[in-house]
Amino acid sequence: MELTLPQIWLIVGLIMLLAELASVLLVFVFFAAGALLTSLLTTVGLLPSTEAQILAFSAISLISLMVFRKNVRMLLSKSPSSEYNEFIGETALVIKDIPNNGEGKIYYRGAEWKAVSFNHSSISAGSKVVITKTDGIILTVEES
């Protein structure tokens, strides 16, 4: 069985989609779109020659890559929340005074954590606090 040009473009598009799944570059998907669109345009008869198909594949792939890649990357990189939400509402013990506008230390889940005061008031060592927010390794707390 001999493959037709639209079938070949379809296979190329599917291979590019598989390559995108294996990589994290977000590049192959645009070449897959170019190949799949070229397959469709060839099937309906808009691209009769091989040269026109190669030109269409190249143009579609590169234009979609330049126009959409940055926006798609930003869309995919936005996670709903990168905070450790399970910490919020938990109680911890202050082990080093937390000054008005500075960092202190709390003891939580068997480890020491940097902490800042939620309302910028000082909290003395030995106080119990509630975690209200996380920012990387720094926890925001308020007295309970």
Can you give the pLDDT at residue 78?
64
Separation between Cα atoms, residue 59 and residue 67, nearest integer Å: 12
CB 105 within 8 A of CB 113: yes
Separation between Cα atoms, residue 92 and residue 139, nearest integer Å: 10
> pTM for the full model?
0.55
Helix (H, G, I), strand (E, B) or coil at 86: helix
Can you give the pLDDT at residue 98?
94
CB-facing half-sphere around the CA of 140: CA atoms within 13 A: 13
Can you give the pLDDT at residue 85?
72
CATH number 2.40.50.140 given to 85-143: yes
Can you give the pLDDT at residue 101?
87
Can you give the pLDDT at residue 80?
54
Can you give the pLDDT at residue 81?
52
Can you give the pLDDT at residue 25?
82
Helix (H, G, I), strand (E, B) or coil at 24: coil
Per-residue pLDDT 10s for the chain (144 aa) are 899 999 999 999 999 999 999 987 889 999 999 999 999 999 999 999 999 999 999 999 999 999 998 888 888 776 555 555 778 899 999 999 999 888 999 999 889 999 999 988 999 999 999 999 888 889 999 998
Can you give the pLDDT at residue 120?
87
**Domain definitions of the chain by residue range:** 5-77, 85-143
User: What residues pair up with 96 in beta bridges, in sequence order?
Assistant: 105
